[in-house]
Amino acid sequence: MRVIVRRGDSLWYYSLLFDVPFPLVVDSNRGIDPNRLFVGQEINVPGFIAVPYTIAPGDTFWRIAQRTGIALDALYLLNLFTRPDALQVGQSISLPQRVTTPIVVGQRNYDYRAMMEDLQRLKNVYPFIVNETIGRSVMGKVIPEIRVGVGETRVHFNGSFHAQEWITTPILMQTLNEYLLALTNRRPIRGRVMAPFYENVMLSIVPMVNPDGVDLVIRGAPPEEPYRSFVLSVNQGRTDFSNWRANIRGVDLNNQYPALWQREAVRKPQAPAPTDFPGTAPLTEPESIAMAQLAERRDFDRVLAYHTQGKVIYWGFQGLEPPESELLVNEFFRVSGYVPIRYVDSYAGYKDWFIQQWRRPGFTVELGRGVNPLPLTQFNEIYEESLGIFLANLYMR
């Protein structure tokens, strides 16, 4: 919601007027000096939307404020060009409405378009989030990263490295939405107040690493050539792509990292395939390159890659993982029931490379249990399990 600065207004006053944490108001107006507001300037107030209201007989600003619980000055602020002493029946004014319910509805076929539309809605209501493009897919789709918070601890989550594991994207998006609601409404999640985490943690989320692949699984072969003919050929003419893990070029993005890539490559398919082809060399695909460059720029303290399925968490690589990885994964197990597995005969993954490169904690979290793609009937259960892991990453330093 946007308001227009009056004489004497300040961001601190808006924080009090709308009962929104001051740091969120400041960060919703990046590039504006909080100490140098000027009359007529537009300011974002997070966690609110302006809704129309039609004046009824007997209405005054004071009566509307009393009836709705809205601060009287908030009505004046949103209706600067309305004369309160000359209201007319049928006249339209604006009321500030606090957003208290989620924008994201995750339990549905959640393709790239759904994600991008939800991200725009979230950005409109919560302008303190940072939405940055980190790269583009093979087909040119923007790959967004969302950041929340200003702390020194840098925690990263990602989802949908594998196309048929797309349920990880709405899980992350719904989790993000719940966090934003808790921040702006000063309400806890599972008994924990969220405000300190905004100050202590910089949260990074890439909800969909593989947008072309996700759309392929959910929507079928794209109309664009040469991609349509290519994926149909690789899939042996089948129009059901539910077994597809790769990107649109048939490369498994989680087999693309220079962490014993050669060892993985010799035992995997040697040509594009729906699953497991690691490419002709490490980091050939724009999606995997974008994720590697992001990690290098952000200098994350730890990363979590959401996959499906198995209800397990892989947390080691060649003995290079630091001691705190075990402490973290045991806490994840406590809050989710997901079993820690230190080593597995698999290499060249994103978390493998992260551990190898920085000697910091990296985790592959296998959400849910069953046959991929997991059915949406599991969504709520997976969400509750993963929420504990998300919260543990905020409070563990």
Active site residue 224: no
Complete edge-to-edge strand list for the sheet that includes strand 362-367 = 130-136, 142-148, 201-206, 153-159, 302-308, 362-367, 312-314, 339-341
* Cα–Cα–Cα angle for 221, 119, 190, rounded to 5 degrees: 115
Report which of 274, 252, 277 is spatially closest to residue 266, judged by C-alpha positions.
277
Q: Give the rounded distance of the alpha carbon of 260 from its chain centre.
A: 30
Alpha-carbon distances of 202 from 271, 317, 386, rounded to whole Å: 39, 25, 19
Angstrom distance (rounded) from CA 102 to CA 175: 10
Angstrom distance (rounded) from CA 395 to CA 114: 30
Yes or no: say if 137 and 247 are a contact pair by the CB < 8 Å rule. Answer: yes
Catalytic one of 224, 366, 384, 385: 366
Angstrom distance (rounded) from CA 247 to CA 162: 8
CB atoms within 10 A of CB 188: 11
Just list the catalytic residues. 366
